[in-house]
Amino acid sequence: MVSTESAPSSVSTDRSVPLIALRGICKHYGGSGGQPEVTVLRGIDLDIHAGEFVAVVGSSGSGKSTLMNILGCLDRPSQGSYHFQGQDVGQLDADALAWLRREAFGFVFQGYHLIASETAQENVEMPAIYAGVSKEARMQRAQSLLNRLGLNTRLHNRPHQLSGGQQQRVSIARALMNGGSVILADEPTGALDSQSGAEVMALLNELADAGHTILLITHDRSVAAQARRVIEIHDGRIVSDSQSRHTADQAAAPAQPLTIPTAKDAPHQTATASWWADLLEAARSAWRGMVVNRVRTSLTLLGIVIGVASVIVMLAIGEGARRQVVERMGTMGTAILYMGSKPPATGGPAGQLTEEDLQAVRELPEIRRVLPVIGDPVTVRYGSADKQLYVFAASEEMPAVHHWSVAQGRFYTQAEDHDLAPLVVLGHKAWKHFFPDTPNPLGKQLIIGNSAFEVIGVMSERGADSGAQDYDDMVFIPYNAGRARVYQSQTQPDYVVVEAMSSTQVHAAETAMRQLLIARHGGREDFGIGNAAARIQAEAATRKSMAMMLGLIAAVSLVVGGIGVMNVMLMTVKERTREIGIRMAVGARQRDILRQFLTEASLVTLVGGSVGLLVGLAVGAVLIAAEVAVVFSMRAMLGAFACAVITGLIFGYKPAQTAARLDPVRALAGE
Ligand code: ADP
Ligand code: MG
């Protein structure tokens, strides 16, 4: 049944060098931290040659498992030497030991030690994964091994769906996956009924016939009697050794000793070729782990989702608020000052802002434009319709000062203003009011006050977002025509809009204007200057710091999410100590374990980050529907996403390292 294909790929043919040579092996436990020292092995000398079928028998607690763990390089002796094929195992580093476990040994345990979340076939494939065998090849080999062990209908069952005998056969298939020249079986029949136990023993016998070296550990003499050499161990010492014919039937043992790689040699495969395959494999098993632990996974995910979503939403709100201010700056400019006459603080009448005053201000080097304005509600009529409207009389510079454009027709010119031309430009709402059915109102006559004005243009719509939507209700007429035909009693402008050369010169412009006008008004400050630009700038700064604060809060929630990842990963490591032990027993190196757990952490954060991104966008969409100013930026989204993944890696590293540094024996014991 188990044919030559699964025979040991290589064992030493040199009969004089034992495959395994133990000299004076001792093992103590405790002895530090106030615990009493326990001596479990007391000087074991043992030679095992390739192809032998050895049973180690002894009562419970005699040290059999301890011996096997040392033989299988899961544990190191406290004293004594262990040579494998003449090479001192004590000199090997962790990677070389992992290599030996992977390539030379196959473990069969009493408790099977299968990974619960993986199928039978995946469990069998595992040693080949760490050996870097291609997916195709290892699937085929796992299937053929399971076939020959009579499990062809059980390939995709998980361990809990298999009987004890079946699980043990899966674990034997796993032991054979990489060749299994030395099978170390610790009480393989201990948990099985007699029928299944007999099957397993028959299997081991066949393997021995096929040339595998087999070390069977048992407390049961009748089981031990089925081996070809029986060693009895009592209280950590070998008390008898049948020394049976180890040189007998070993025809099947092929040549080529195993060469244990040093750290410099690339074992079994080139590392780069399988890098991607390894990552995929790690991602697959990480995904499996996430699905199996749904509740825990979704709680961790929730933390990250909230973190990422809040970063995205808060940054979007912050950006929206910032844009609003920028837009307002766009409508009013960042360099606008207002000026008007006002009674001085010291008492007395308000001053007059004369044409000459304005001309003098206009000539200041810090000033770009000066726009005197007269505006009041006036009755405006068209045909039989009339309405009180704010009639805004200003020079032809009005659109430039307000960063505003004409949608239809044109604005009046400086010449027309000078000539008192009776022209009017409508705000968007005013147009809709008087000419609801007339797309083109140009040329129509409006009666403003008592004079007729010809419509020559319509301004574009400012809209509700601009902070200047009132302007849509107004109509605009030339300053001089307004004074001559509508506001005849007016001797000076209601107020003057002054635009500084640039937003950085607003304060200088204010100071210069004040000094100039005080001088012109005989030392009296009978006017007021309002600095709208400074207000807007201050508001912009406030909003910016608000946005930063929102970002900070969001970042904190991301970090909290990261700590959640760490917590879950630490729990995962704890919960899966045994799994880690199994992986190490089948030959995983520390870096394999590290990579697996890091992959899991990043997968959790990747999935969490993606979901968070979607949730963030959804919340944003709701906010937009509720007319909150929200602006998503690609940079913020990518940033939040990247932060999540990096947080996952950083916080996942410690647990992954903890896992990788576990001691194989203790991990197997689930400690
Ligand atoms: P067997 O497999 O023969 O039943 P073990 O090798 O498992 O025996 O254990 C032999 C003895 O070593 C037992 O008395 C056990 O209590 C002790 N022992 C095993 N592992 C440890 C440990 N990690 N710390 C302390 N004592 C241990
Ligand atoms: Mg034991």
pLDDT digit string, tens, across residues 350-409: 888 888 999 999 999 999 999 999 988 899 998 888 888 899 999 999 888 888 889 999
SS (H, E, C) 451-516: EEEEEEEEECCCCHHHCCHHHHHCEEEEHHHHHHHCCCCCCCCCEEEEEECCHHHHHHHHHHHHHH
- The tens digit of pLDDT for each residue in 22-33 reads 999 999 988 777
Q: How confident is the model at residue 458, as a pLDDT?
A: 93
Exposure string for 386-414, b = 16+ CB within 10 A, e = fewer: eeebbbbbbbbbbbbbbebeeebbebbee
Helices (H), 23-163: 64-71, 94-103, 120-131, 135-148
Interval 545-568 mean pLDDT: 78
Q: State yes or no: pLDDT of 45 exceeds 90.
A: yes
d(CA 216, CA 201): 10
d(CA 398, CA 239): 111
Q: State yes or no: pLDDT of 268 exceeds 50.
A: no
Hey, what's the torsion of the CAs at 107, 108, 111, 116, to 10 degrees? Answer: 70
Question: Which pTM does this prediction carry?
Answer: 0.67
Q: Which of 68-82, 86-100, 458-472 has the lowest mean pLDDT?
A: 458-472
Q: How confident is the model at residue 117, as a pLDDT?
A: 84
Q: Determine the distance separating the centroid of ligand 2 and the alpha carbon of 312, expressed in angstroms.
A: 56
Which atom of ligand 1 sits closest to the CA of residue 69? 6
Nearest residue to 81 via CA among 42, 18, 39, 23: 23
Among 41, 60, 66, 231, the mutation site with the greatest number of ligand 1 atoms within 8 A of its Cβ is 66
d(CA 435, CA 65): 99
pLDDT band at 333 (very low <50, low <70, confident <90, very high): low
Q: Is 60 in the pocket of ligand 1 (CB under 6 A)?
A: yes
pLDDT band at 583 (very low <50, low <70, confident <90, very high): very high
Residue with tokens 């161990």: 233
Q: Is 236 in the pocket of ligand 1 (CB under 6 A)?
A: no
- Name which residue sits closest to atom 1 of ligand 1, judged by CA: 61
Q: Is 562 in the pocket of ligand 1 (CB under 6 A)?
A: no
d(CA 361, CA 353): 11
Q: How confident is the model at residue 282, as a pLDDT?
A: 78
Q: Is 32 in the pocket of ligand 1 (CB under 6 A)?
A: no
Alpha-carbon distance values, 578 to 183, 229, 573, 584, 665 (Å): 20, 32, 9, 10, 9
- As a whole-number percent, the residues of the chain with pLDDT over 90 amount to 35
Is 183 within 8 Å of 214 (Cβ atoms)? yes
d(CA 201, CA 227): 9
Cβ neighbours for 61, distance < 8 A, ≥ 6 positions apart:
none
Which atom of ligand 1 sits closest to the CA of residue 669? 23
Q: Is 167 in the pocket of ligand 1 (CB under 6 A)?
A: no
- 118 three-state secondary structure: coil
Helices 294-332 and 532-575, interaxial angle, to 10°?
170
**Largest Cα–Cα distance in the chain?**
132
- The DSSP line for 22-58 is EEEEEEEE--STTPPPEEEEEEEEEEE-TT-EEEEE-
- The tens digit of pLDDT for each residue in 429-445 reads 899 888 888 888 899 99
Cβ neighbours for 261, distance < 8 A, ≥ 6 positions apart:
96, 99, 267
